[in-house]
Amino acid sequence: MRGDDLRERRIGTLIFELGAEESRCVEPPRADVPQVDLQAALGEQVRTVPPALPHVTEVDIARHYERLASANFGVDSGFYPLGSCTMKYNPKVDEWACRLPGFAGVHPYQPESSAQGALELMWELQGMLGEIAGLPAVTLQPAAGAHGELTGLLVIRAYHSARGDSRKKVLVPDSAHGTNPATVAMCGYEVVQVPSDERGGVDLEALKGLLDTDVAALMLTNPNTLGLFDENIARITEAVHAIGALVYCDGANLNAILGKSRPGDMGFDALHINLHKTFATPHGGGGPGAGPVAVSAQLAEYLPGPVATRDGEGTYSLSIPESSIGRMRSFAGNFGVLVRAYAYMRAMGRLGLAEVSEQAVLSANYLKELLRQAWPLAYDRVCMHEFVLSGAQMRKEHGVRTLDVAKRLLDYGYHPPTVYFPLIVDEAMMIEPTETEGKATLDRFAAVLLRIAEEAAENPDLLHGAPYTTPVRRLDEAAAVKRPDLAWRPGPVVGG
Amino acid sequence: MRFIPVTCEERAEMLAVVGVDSVEELFADLPEDARLARPLALPEPMGEVELAAHLRGLAARNADSEGVVSFLGAGCYDHYIPAIVDAVVSKPAFFTAYTPYQPEVSQGTLQAIYEYQSMVCQLTGMEVANASMYDGATAFAEAALMAVRITKRRRVLVSGAVHPEWLETLRTYVEGGAAVVEAVQSREGVTEAKALTSALADDVAAVMVASPTFFGTLEDVPAIAAATHSAGALLVLGANPILLGVLESPAAQGADIAVAEGQPLGNPMSFGGPGLGMFACRQEHLRQMPGRVAGRTVDVDGRPGFVLTFSTREQHIRREKATSNICSNHALNALAAAVYLSAVGSEGLAGIARSCISKAHYFADALVATGRFAREFAAPFGHEFTLRYRGDVAAMQSAMLERGFLAGLDLGRTSSDLAGLVLFAVTEKRTRVEIDRFVAEVGAL
Ligand SMILES: Cc1ncc(COP(=O)(O)O)c(C=O)c1O
């Protein structure tokens, strides 16, 4: 189907190398007012050397990006069981909705009276997220999960400061995602690591030993990054509250508990929700997402503004909470992402969302049963929406690492699971099937992983060399650091 | 169920394999008092037909750029978006992918990021750029934190002429005590040179300005750079990416870190988000830069390919020692920007910038000629400018909205000191006919 020329040019040919000096795609509109003399208008600051941007036609652009797209794997390409990331299907109607001119063409500073539909959507979304969280106050401002973490911890900091209480530490389990300790550090707190117990939960005794009045908060993911619901959650939040500290929930794993359990009811004071995970907005090749934060009533006044409000007459507006920590970014939030999440939630409705979690959890447990004969489970318990296998034994017996297994999966047409996370599991492989995959997909995937386990025993080198069928094979990451090539630059002859 | 393909029969088979009778048993770890004993209080599901109608109804209650003629900017701009941009970002292989942690099946995203980084370097004159931040404001805040790490100093001087939301975001980001932010007074719509020099000292990590400023004026960046560098501080410059088609690059003007709101490059206004945080710096500071970076390398067969690199700066490797907590960024908006810049090219970008500037100057002159507006600042400006209105700004704006115009931003809304001032922005989409009509209508109020 594809000519040799296309195949050769698939990877590596840069857009800067296409087209010719005279190639053009979109030209500026014809001048209908007198053109300013730039030197006269702007003075000294006029650019003398133009930026070297591509010179290409629209056909060049269309083919270039089609080629790049063909070298990419997305949820629409196939099964993407990337643990912790909830790579569920992204409904097409959501993409249509966010592009409606009445959403995409709205300016953040136009009068509120001329943006009532947008504000209503935000207000409704705040309410739905608050109901799911079991926490009454919601800000839609944060742009991603990590941004939500920063928001939540700054809110907690403001809460303590308002009490004249300057606490210094935040507790973070050893199973936590890297953004958690990074966020704690950005907030000027010291990170104190909490060990996990032999069942994969927070070690309650160790936690109690770490709790003192210098602790501002515990940051916890529940279900946690092992895919396990912490059975002691009520005792944990109670112990933390007993010393006047608060509990923050990393809501990355909310897809397991929609309509089943609410972080607010577990005793959490604040939570971020990754709309790009749980509420089906696309990951975009790395973003944009959205990380709304829900908090308890006592924290509501500290939320960053603006938040959407509604008055008695049903008029919507934006307002800044009373003791707000301030802004986390420009404008009110990643509105285009909020539209998609809102559309998804309305499509699913109250029962549909509970069914999402039921199926996500069932599918994970099913897949776990199919795989456990070949890969030891890190923790042999009923899991939530994901589970973690350990490749330690395979490494010891066959010299095959989890990385090799992941690369071999690429040859079979699957995106690998998350690997080497969480850090507390040796040779970790974290699998999250999500509810949007059928049973046949799960069966085929399991069969392939079991086949790979056989390959590992029979012919380890086959796995060491994988992948073989991808647009490129394993890349030299050390060379990328040793000889950094982070941007194309025009050669001396280009442009004359 | 929509988006849940498992059938009832399959569900029963799956339960049998797991060895439970019902899905409820799988939730046994949830303690009783943490369970929700009732269904969520949310609306009933909607089929796609109803949903589409509902969403269309919400959208119809917003004035949008197809229905009104907008002279609003202030950080979010109504530029033309070439059709090819959405054609590319709508490709599922781009938008349904995750962060390219498996480079063998993510070459499309990785190469697109590398090309984006290259274009940002071209625009800013810098040597390295990251794969994006959330928006201009957060890029600005992260630049301050980066300057603090590099210089090991803690005072940050921020021009009072930057976008107030950038300043507010920066203040929030340093709540944890990483830096002490001091605003430097502005005069005539630009940073006051005297105030800056008297605040500068050898404990200043960074001077942070934007050019164009919030008011649309251009700063004397080389002079600010000279003063900044003589105190051993770094200059962080906020730029406008469209104007960089005709304005000297931040690096050439003496900036050490350049940031910008990238929304104008092919991204819809979308009520203010998602935007795009552009971030670039000099090679020597690479290891202190926040965010992801893609680099070019080779695979085991010697074929060229791309990877995420210098990851030891990032949270998933360095945890609390990372340069930032950022994980998801705005990759798809960066892709849109790269497609946009490819579509317009350097001549096109310069042409669009010149078109915006010409129309803005034509518009400003015509407004002043009505006698209802007066020029407020003498400094040069690009495609955005501040005028004083001789009358009630809010009343003028609502009268003009009735006539189908968004009549700029009432600066009195951002600060009471600025009451009476209006900030207008003009993009290449505005026509002389629209401008003339606005001028005639506003003059007749
Ligand atoms: C457990 C967990 N926490 C936090 C994050 C960060 O979320 P984001 O990428 O939206 O900033 C992730 C994302 O990968 C995650 O899996």
Report the number of distinct structural domains present in chain B: 2
Do B76 and B91 have their domain in common? no
Which two tokens mark A387? Answer: 């589970």
A494 CB-near residues (< 8 Å, 6+ apart) = A52
Q: Are residues A324 and A188 in the same domain?
A: yes
User: Could you tell me if B325 and B359 lie in one domain?
Assistant: no
Verify that A105 and A41 share a domain, yes or no. no
For Cα atoms A32, A35, A40, give the angle at the middle one, nearest 5 degrees. 160
Helices B164-173 & B136-151, crossing angle to 10 degrees?
Answer: 50
Same domain flag for A37 and A117: no
Amino acid B2: pLDDT: 81
- Note the pLDDT of residue A494: 43
Q: Are residue A55 and residue A186 in the same domain, yes or no?
A: no
Same domain, residue pair B183 and B271: yes
Q: Is B367 found in the same domain as B269?
A: no
Q: Are residues A155 and A273 in the same domain?
A: yes
pLDDT at residue A305 is higher than 50: yes
Has residue A3 got a pLDDT over 90? Answer: no
Q: How far is the CA of A91 from the centre of ligand 1 (A)?
A: 21
- Residue numbers in A near B354 (CB within 8 A): 28, 35-36, 38
Same structural domain, B92 and B209: yes
Q: Is residue B436 classed exposed, middle or buried when 0-12, 13-18 and 19+ CB atoms within 10 A define those classes?
A: middle
Q: What is the pLDDT of residue B321?
A: 87
Residues B254, B267: Cα–Cα separation, whole Å: 28
CB B332 within 8 A of CB B131: no
Distance of CA A301 to the CA centre of its chain: 27
Tell me, what CATH number does B407's domain have? 3.90.1150.10
pLDDT (tens digit per residue) in A106-161: 999 999 999 999 999 999 999 999 999 999 999 999 999 999 999 999 999 999 99
B372: number of CA atoms within 13 Å, CB side? 16
User: Is the Cβ–Cβ distance between A70 and A7 less than 8 Å?
Assistant: no
Q: What are phi and psi of B187, to 5 degrees?
A: -145, 135
Tokens coding B423: 């900030």
Residue A252 Cα to ligand 1 midpoint, Å, equals 6
Q: Does A1 touch chain B (CB under 8 A)?
A: no
Count of domains in chain A? 3
CA of A147 to the centre of ligand 1 (A): 10
* pLDDT tens track for A217-231: 999 999 999 999 999
Q: Is residue A493 part of a domain?
A: no
Quote the CA–CA distance of A288 and B133 in Å, as a whole number: 10
**Best CA proximity match to B104, nearest among B295, B301, B307, B294:** B307
Structure tokens at B263: 């929304």
User: How much is the pLDDT for B317?
Assistant: 86
Evaluate the omega torsion of the peptide bond into residue A306 and state whether it is cis, within 30 degrees of 0: yes
Please state the length of chain A: 496
> Are A358 and A298 in the same domain?
no
Coil vs helix vs strand at B344: helix
pLDDT above 50 for A6: no
Residues B328 and B358 in one domain: no
Same domain flag for B396 and B291: no
Q: Please indicate if any CB of chain B lies within 8 Å of the CB of A468.
A: no
Across the interface, which of B64, B93, B95 has its CB nearest the CB of A106?
A: B64
Tell me, yes or no, whether A36 lies in a domain: yes
Considering the domain architecture, whether residues B412 and B266 belong to the same structural domain is answered as no
Looking at the domain assignment, is residue A77 inside a domain? no
Of B315, B340, B365, which residue constitutes the final position of a domain? B340
- Among B293, B315, B340, give the residue marking a domain's end: B340
pLDDT at position B1 is 60
Residue A10: pLDDT band (50, 70, 90) is: low
Percentage, residues of chain A above pLDDT 90 = 95
Whole domain around residue B74: which residue ranges? Answer: 69-81+346-443
Residue B24 neighbours by CB under 8 Å, 6+ apart: none
Same domain, A53 and A109: no
- What's the whole-number average pLDDT of chain A? 95
Which of these three, A280, A315, A347, is where a domain ends?
A347
pLDDT score of A496 more than 60: no
What's the average model confidence in pLDDT over A169-177? 96
Q: What is the pLDDT along chain B (445 residues), one digit of tens a residue?
A: 689 999 999 999 999 999 999 999 999 999 998 999 999 999 999 999 999 999 999 999 999 999 999 999 999 999 999 999 999 999 999 999 999 999 999 999 999 999 999 999 999 999 999 999 999 999 999 999 999 999 999 999 999 999 999 999 999 999 999 999 999 999 999 999 999 999 999 999 999 999 999 999 999 999 999 999 999 999 999 999 999 999 999 999 999 999 999 999 999 999 999 999 999 999 999 999 999 999 999 999 999 999 999 998 889 888 998 999 999 999 999 999 999 999 999 999 999 999 999 999 999 999 999 999 999 999 999 999 999 999 999 999 999 999 999 999 999 999 999 999 999 999 999 999 999 999 999 999 9
Pick the last residue of a domain from A347, A363, A378.
A347
- A331 and A357 belong to one structural domain: no
B93 Cβ contact partners less than 8 Å away, ≥ 6 residues apart: A69, A70, A72, A73, A74, A76, A77, B108
Average pLDDT over residues A401-409: 98
Give pLDDT, residue A362.
Answer: 98
Q: Are residues A382 and A444 in the same domain?
A: yes
Q: How far apart are CA A34 and CA A318, in angstroms?
A: 40
B131: nearest CA partner in chain A? A286
Q: For residue A288, which of B143, B171, B281, B267 has the smallest C-alpha distance?
A: B267
Instruction: Determine the pLDDT at residue B117.
Output: 98
B335: three-class secondary structure by DSSP: helix
Left if phi > 0, otherwise alpha if psi is -120 to 50, otherwise beta: which for A425? Answer: beta
| Cis ω for the linkage preceding B250 (within 30 of 0) | no
A42 with A141, same domain: the answer is no
Q: At what angle do helices B8-18 and A439-458 cross, to 10 degrees?
A: 40
Pair (B120, B233) in one structural domain = yes
d(CA A247, CA A267): 8
Same domain for B218 and B151, yes or no, is: yes
**pLDDT at residue A7, rounded to an integer:** 47
In a domain? residue A487? no
Q: Using a 6 Å cutoff on CB, does residue A175 contact ligand 1?
A: no
Instruction: Give the C-alpha separation, A254 to A360, whole Å.
Output: 11
Closest CA to A147 of B276, B326, B189: B326
Chain B residue with the nearest C-alpha to that of A403: B102
In a domain, B248, yes or no: yes
**CA distance linking residue A491 with residue B369, whole number of Å:** 49
Q: How many CB atoms lie within 10 A of CB B183?
A: 18
Q: Is residue A80 part of a domain?
A: no
Q: Does B1 touch chain A (CB under 8 A)?
A: yes
- The domain spanning residue B232 has which CATH number? 3.40.640.10
Which residues in chain B have Cβ-Cβ distances shorter than 8 Å to A259? 36, 39-40
The structure tokens 């939040």 sit at A237
Residue B18 in domain: no
Do B208 and B312 fall into the same domain? yes
Supply the Cα-derived Rg of chain B in whole angstroms: 25
Looking at A297, A319, A347, which one is the last position of a domain? A347
Share of chain A above pLDDT 70, in %: 97
The residue of chain A nearest to residue B108, with distances taken between CA atoms, is: A68
Asked if the interface predicted TM-score (ipTM) of this complex is over 0.90, the answer is: yes
Q: Do A106 and B128 touch (CB under 8 A)?
A: no
Same domain, A108 and A48: no
Q: Which residue among B278, B311, B340 closes a domain?
A: B340
Residue of A nearest to B134 (CA): A143
CA gap A280, A341 in Å, rounded? 7
Query: Are B111 and A231 in contact (CB < 8 Å)?
Result: no
Report if residue A111 sits inside a domain: yes
- B176 & B197 share domain: yes
| A419 and A308 belong to one structural domain | no
What global pTM score does this model have?
0.97
Question: Which CATH number do you get for residue A330?
Answer: 3.40.640.10
Residue A393 lies in a domain: yes
A324 lines ligand 1 (CB under 6 A): no
The residue range of the domain holding A446 is 350-482
Q: What is the pLDDT of residue A360?
A: 98
Task: Find out whether the beta carbon of A289 lies less than 6 Å from any atom of ligand 1.
Answer: yes
